[in-house]
Structure 1
Amino acid sequence: MDIQQNYFAFLGVSEAFDIDLSYVSERYRDLQKQLHPDKFAHASDREQRMAVQYTAYLNEAMATLKSPLLRAQYLLTLKGIDTHSEASVSIDPAFLFEQMELRETLESAKASDDPFDVLESLSDRVEVQLRTLESAFKSAYARGDDTSLEDAAAAVRKMQFLTKLSSEIAQAEHDLDG
């Protein structure tokens, strides 16, 4: 085990957007059994610390690879592209306007006659957009040249908006249930 490896290598999968999540989960469970700090309770202090570090790295790797957005961001990070910093990034104004409209729909859903129907419809719309952006990301990332990687980064930035909105829709549904 080497926590200097990237997450893909650490979990034994190809460095790609499309990965076998069931294999990743299986590999995660196997490594978790091997590395869990409880297995090192009677080991030296150094071995106990290493077990904690390995487990933390494993958990971070799993969370990253399990999420399409985080996986895409990580792939770009491995290519030297930071999608977390938005200082000098411009996003398509039409996309931003659409995001405002989607958020207005979310806000008005609570007051509608059938809020669950509105939220389900909104959620479906967001999921379709996310799948479209994931496809655009995969295509651009696969080309691999600088311009294509910037296109992939632009898709990821849009995915960030939609992933956050998807979480807010789920929270609104939960709040209505509660």
Structure 2
Amino acid sequence: MVINYFELFQLPIQLPIDSGQLTANYQQLQRQYHPDNFANANDNEKMAIIQKSAMINDGYQTLKNPIKAAEYFLSLQGFDVATEQNIIHDADFLMEQFSLREKLDDIENQNNVDLLDDFHSEISQRKKQVYHQLLQHMSQQDWQNAVNQIYKLRYLTRLIEQIEKLQEKQFAL
């Protein structure tokens, strides 16, 4: 039986998710299914409670992350974005990736903290734009373009992670 995380947390099946409501419902479910509450249960019941608790945690981790939530939402629409190849057929975005990669290499070679911080802000803003476009495509049920936005978000997320590693390295110097 597949559990719908939106239903589990009593949330509307839509994005973006109300993070306050998600957290409140998560905490309520955690209290309800805490293993300590079932100390006198038999082994089968205890195992079922542990599995339910793990599912609650998985659902929360999925829905609290905007990209994972979008991937999950698309999986409910029949798209397997987790295992599909990250093939982006958007030539402009592919050129943008190449350009951004070059820019990061240049900044790294210059060893300039201010440029790195500015680049981090620029990419974070770009990620917000792509996420907003994702939400628009999803609201229009334009699933294929929504899937493409997921791939773009993954790329930008990895780029931000690389920038942050460089920032940490700079900070350690």
Q: 1:97 to 1:50 in 2, by over 3 A?
A: same
Partner of 1:126: 123
* Counterpart residue type for residue 137 of structure 1: L
Deviations 1:45-100 (A, max 9, x none): 11211121111111111111111111111111000012223448343232122223
Query: Counterpart in 2 of 1:63?
Result: 61
- 1:99-114 alignment to 2 at 5 Å? 99-114=97-112
1:50 aligns with 48
User: 1:114 is aligned with what amino acid?
Assistant: N
User: Matches of 1:24 and 1:88 in 2, distance apart?
Assistant: 29
1:15 is displaced (CA, Å) by: 0.7
1:154 matched residue in structure 2: 148
**Preserved CA contact (<8 Å) 2:88 2:151:** no
Identical amino acids, percent of aligned pairs: 28
Q: Structure 1 residue 175 and structure 2 residue 169: aligned? A: yes
Contact 2:88 2:94 in 1 (8 A): no
- What is the CA–CA distance in structure 2 between the aligned matches of 1:30 and 1:123, rounded to whole Å? 37
CA contact (8 A) 1:11 1:27 kept: yes
Q: Distance in 2 between matches of 1:37 and 1:176?
A: 45
- Asked whether the equivalents of residues 109 and 118 of structure 1 are also in contact (C-alpha less than 8 Å), the reply is yes
Name which of structure 1's ranges 55-64 and 97-106 shifts more when overlaid on structure 2.
97-106
1:32, 1:58 within 8 Å by CA — same for their partners in 2?
yes
35-44 or 104-113, which deviates more: 104-113
Kindly tell me: are residues 13 and 111 of structure 1, through their superposed partners in 2, closer, same or farther at Cα, counting changes over 3 Å? same
Confirm or deny: 8 A CA contact 1:102 1:122 kept in the other structure.
no
Structure 2: segments with no counterpart, 5+ residues: none
- Structure 2 counterpart of 1:118, which letter? L
SS of residue paired to 2:15: coil
Q: TM-score, normalised by structure 1?
A: 0.85
How many aligned positions are there? 172
- Describe the SS at the equivalent of 1:132: helix
Structure 1: gaps (5+ residues): none
**Does the Cα contact within 8 Å between 1:69 and 1:163 map onto a contact in 2?**
no
Whole-Å Cα distance in 2 between the matches of residues 88 and 130 of structure 1?
17
User: In 1, Cα distance between the equivalents of 2:56 and 2:41?
Assistant: 20
